[in-house]
Amino acid sequence: MANLAIDLKPKNLASTHRALKIASKMILRDDRILLHVKSIKLAVEASLLRSICVYDRIIPLLPKIIGKKDPTLLDVGANMGQFALRVARQFPDGRIYSFEPLHESAMGLRRAKRWLRLGNISVHEEALCDAVGTEIIHVPVMNGGFRDGALAVLEGSKTVYDNVSYQAEAVKTNTIDAFTMALGLDRIDFIKVDTEGAESRVISGGLATIDRLLPTLYLETPLERPWLTGLYERGYQPFYNDGEKLFAPRAGMRQTDVLLVHSSKTPQIAGLRADK
């Protein structure tokens, strides 16, 4: 039983550049100033071509993966636009719908979007999941008082960690299916989902849209999650990437993100595959 208790002990929450975030909070103190500085940083990074692959290795591959100059993309879990800003510049004729439930993060994205004059991003201040309504979202607060909105998670998907406290607030929720129906979208080419553990709920709320439009999916989730079986049964195939090529996962191989491409669309990525 002692070993079992150790196995069940909550793990520490990992945060990218944790020390820098805490130091920034201690120096700047005011959250509004801190978020403004972060918006400047993200806008500058997104405006530099060489930074396009820094945030995510998949981004340089998107033109060939999507195969269109004017794609429609859903950015679920947008935070302050780390993904959306880069992709909007990459596809100036495309349309990016970004979903971010935290007001301060959504405002940061709008601010950077305005500075970069990116009219092809629309910001929706809501969390996409498996229900339309409201839900509590938990924002981790690290030592020094830094609120890491990038790691906020909905109540129904929350894991408790030892090294942070949480601030709770109510946010609006929606589903992919309800959103696409309300806007009458008849094409979605790519859906990126990074929701800190709520990925299965996002997909559950979008299965009708996925069955209808067969978008390519990019999910922050381990490949072996049981809920992914439903997508595999629908004809989706998993791929990892190294920033230059795509390849089918092999035994013992692990990445934090998985690309899912429907079998009807795999011929268009043949030139990207390292295993062909």
pLDDT tens digit sequence for 95-140: 999 999 999 899 999 999 998 999 999 999 999 999 999 999 988 7
Which single residue is written with the structure tokens 């509590």? Answer: 136
pTM over 0.85: no
> In the chain, pLDDT over 70 holds for what percent of residues?
76
pLDDT score at 1: 30
Residue 4 pLDDT class (50, 70, 90 cuts): very low
φ/ψ (deg, to 5) at 173:
-120, 155
Burial of 275 (0-12, 13-18, 19+ CB in 10 A): exposed
Residue 237: both structure tokens together: 């195939």
Which single residue is written with the structure tokens 């809920």? Answer: 227
pLDDT score at 7: 35
